């Protein structure tokens, strides 16, 4: 019983740490905060334009918009993860 408890405790302890170092690395290693801000804004604009484009095209079929939005969000998350891993590897 002690082993089962300790293994679940170890797993719970291992999950939170990766999230914090990423945020700290970004804030600590961003030498050009303005460039980072511009990249974030451009990503947001691309996302918004893509969504509006889909919304206008599929006015009659909203379910397609929802599915497309899910794909867009997934793509954005992958894009951010890739960018973060690149930023992390360059330091």
* Residue-wise pLDDT tens digits, 6-36: 444 444 444 444 444 444 344 444 455 666 6
Beta carbons of 59 and 84 less than 8 angstroms apart? no
Burial of 87 (0-12, 13-18, 19+ CB in 10 A): middle
67-91 pLDDT, tens digit per residue, is: 777 777 777 777 777 776 776 555 5
- Which pTM value belongs to this model? 0.29
Sign of the alpha-carbon dihedral angle for 65, 69, 71, 75: positive
- Count Cβ atoms below 10 Å from residue 33 Cβ, excluding itself: 9
């Amino acid at each position: 019983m002690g082993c089962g408890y300790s293994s679940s405790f170890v797993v719970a302890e291992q999950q939170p740490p990766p999230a914090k170092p990423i945020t700290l690395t970004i804030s600590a290693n961003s030498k050009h905060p303005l460039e980072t801000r511009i990249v974030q804004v451009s990503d947001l604009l691309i996302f918004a334009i893509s969504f509006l484009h889909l919304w206008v095209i599929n006015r009659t079929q909203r379910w397609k918009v929802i599915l497309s939005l899910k794909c867009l969000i997934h793509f954005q998350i992958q894009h951010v993860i890739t960018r973060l891993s690149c930023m992390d590897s360059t330091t």
